[in-house]
Amino acid sequence: MAKILVLDDDQGMRDFMEIMLTKEGYDVTGSGEPAKAIDLCRKTAFDLVITDLKMPKINGIEFLKAIKDQRPETIVILITAYASGETAINAMKEGAYDYVEKGGSIDDLKKIVQAALLKKGLVIENKTLKKEVETKETAENLFCGMIGTNREMLKIFATIKKVSDTPANILILGESGTGKELVARAIHENSARSKMPFIAINSGGIPENLLESELFGYMKGSFTGAYADKQGFFEMARGGTIFLDEIGELSPSLQVKLLRIIQERTFRRIGGAEDIKVDVRIISATNKNLQERVTKGEFREDLYYRLNVIPIFIPPLRERREDIPLLINSFIEKYAQMFGKEIRNISSYAMELLMNYAFPGNIRELENIIERSVAMETSNIILPESLTLYSSDASIGTSKFDITDRGIDLNEELDKIEKMLIEKALQKTKGSKRKAAGLLKITFDSLRHRIEKLGVEQE
């Protein structure tokens, strides 16, 4: 049973918190005086402390410093009436786990407490087992560099295990940024070909004349600049796997040559007269509707069926939101280590912004957002102010924007749209913040934070 200390000079608030947290199954102790609370922490190893920010004599930040000095492992959550970015940064620099607004959602506070205790539990477990924890849950969540608890992702992991050692061609479908190459690599790494080459080619990113020579190689003198014989990717991948991304962008002539390789396992270099036999597993991917292209005559039907023996569809990130926190934590760890930062966490408000974001660029966009945030963040936690979110949803506002030759400030325009929507929601609910938060599908705490940040006028 986790031990929690609640510090608040408001007895009513303190009693409420004690009752609520006790019902959640925690061992709760309350205190109204910071000095006595510090003494309690000296005598008892509390797992988590929830403290009000503004108190007489000793404020929440000073109390936080005192607790961290004597028990660095204790998690501290601050409660404040007005959660400003400056307050958060100061608290996080001193080691606070997160902050919540007084009078906000009780469910939000419960989630933050649960997440904090879970994080501490995992840290202790990792130290005890020297980071060699191999539970069934961990194995399912992390698979060949891919992270997911979403049902469809777990099905993909299971499918990869089943099909990796089959010779069948696989077509991976999904929007840009969903991780199609990761799936292809996982198939290769789980197959008998894992010790042989894996070569990935972006079919749409190389001009047609260069793509042909890159794929099939060429003979000396076959064209200007061909000063020596050159192997192509198919020869280099012999015995292994070749991954053809954006397969829908292949020209008709290259489609014919690819079909021949699939059917006969042979090809010729440019300018060559001899057939070259090759044993290569072909995995292809596309973010296009290939069936539609077949119907329009833009993609060969026989090639489509040859490639699409086993289709694997990767859902977009907006359809697997339960994986967002896992991915965020993974990227924070990756880039904190890369940039030499002490960042280990993300604030609940920043997490909420990301959980409600559409991610048109999927996982690739999320990784870019976290990379930039870690690089720019000056505290030890990612705050909302360090996030840069873009939206490709043209229906987000009622106005149409023109981009002049001088360009526009995207962040400024997005702030205007967000402010306009919040003002409209407040007008519709006659000033009720709770009802407005419901209309906007965000929490009451998040709405208050955005109102303060954007300077929304209220009646």
Of 66-70, 220-224, 335-339, 434-438, where does the model show the most confidence? Answer: 335-339
Q: What is the pLDDT of residue 85?
A: 52
Is residue 141 in some structural domain? Answer: no
Helix (H) or strand (E) holding 185: helix 180-189
Percent over 70 (pLDDT), the chain = 87
Q: Is 218 found in the same domain as 296? A: yes
Tell which wins on pLDDT, 443 or 297.
Answer: 297
Q: Are residues 164 and 302 in the same domain?
A: yes
309 and 403 together in one domain:
no
DSSP 356: T
Same domain for 185 and 100, yes or no, is no
CATH number at residue 52: 3.40.50.2300
Based on the fold, state whether residues 68 and 17 are members of the same structural domain.
yes
Containing 285, the helix (H) or strand (E) segment is strand 281-286
Residue 80 included in any domain = yes
Find the mean pLDDT for residues 360-387.
88
Same domain, 219 and 170: yes
Confidence of residue 446 (pLDDT cuts 50, 70, 90): confident
Residue 265 domain-assigned (yes or no) = yes
**Final residue of a domain: which of 386, 409, 441?**
386
Average pLDDT, the chain: 82
Query: Is there a single domain that holds both residue 220 and residue 326?
Result: no
Domain boundary among 283, 314, 345: 314
> Which of 314, 346, 363 is the last residue in one of the domains?
314
Q: Is residue 355 part of a domain?
A: yes
Flag whether 134 is in a domain.
no
Look at residue 142 and tell me if it is in a domain. no
> Residue 400 sits in a domain of what CATH number?
1.10.10.60
DSSP string computed for 392-449: --GGGSSS-----TT---HHHHHHHHHHHHHHHHHHHTTT-HHHHHHHTTS-HHHHHH
Domain identity same for 300 and 427: no
pTM of the complete model: 0.65
Which of the residue ranges 19-33, 68-82, 242-256 would you say has the lowest mean pLDDT?
68-82
State the pLDDT confidence band at 207, using cuts at 50, 70 and 90: confident
Q: Is the domain of 120 the same as that of 244?
A: no
Confidence tier at 199 by pLDDT (50, 70, 90): very high
* 378 lies in the same domain as 398: no
Residue 139 has pLDDT above 80, yes or no: no
Question: Is 253 domain-assigned?
Answer: yes
Q: Which residues contact 448 (CB under 8 A, 6 or more apart)?
A: 83, 101, 104, 433
Binning pLDDT at 50, 70 and 90, where does residue 86 land? low
Distances (CA, A) of 110 to 1, 21, 77, 440: 15, 8, 12, 22
Higher pLDDT, 11 or 380: 11
User: Could you tell me which residue, 388 or 228, shows the higher pLDDT?
Assistant: 228
Confidence bin at 84 (pLDDT 50/70/90) = low
pLDDT at res. 134:
37
| Number of domains present in the structure of the chain | 4
Domain assignment present for 143: no
Average pLDDT over residues 224-229: 83
Question: How far apart are the C-alpha atoms of 237 and 1, rounded to whole Å?
Answer: 55
Instruction: State whether 440 and 328 are in the same domain.
Output: no
Q: Which domain holds residue 87?
A: 3-129
Do residues 200 and 330 both lie within one domain? no
Confidence class of residue 136 from pLDDT cuts 50, 70 and 90? very low
Cα 44 from Cα 28, distance rounded (Å): 12
Provide the pLDDT confidence category of residue 141 given band limits of 50, 70 and 90: low
Domain containing residue 348: CATH number: 1.10.8.60
pLDDT (mean) for 162-184: 92
CA dist 332 → 73, 156, 201 (Å): 20, 25, 29
Residue 255 and residue 80: Cα distance in Å, rounded? 63
219 or 105, which is more confident: 219
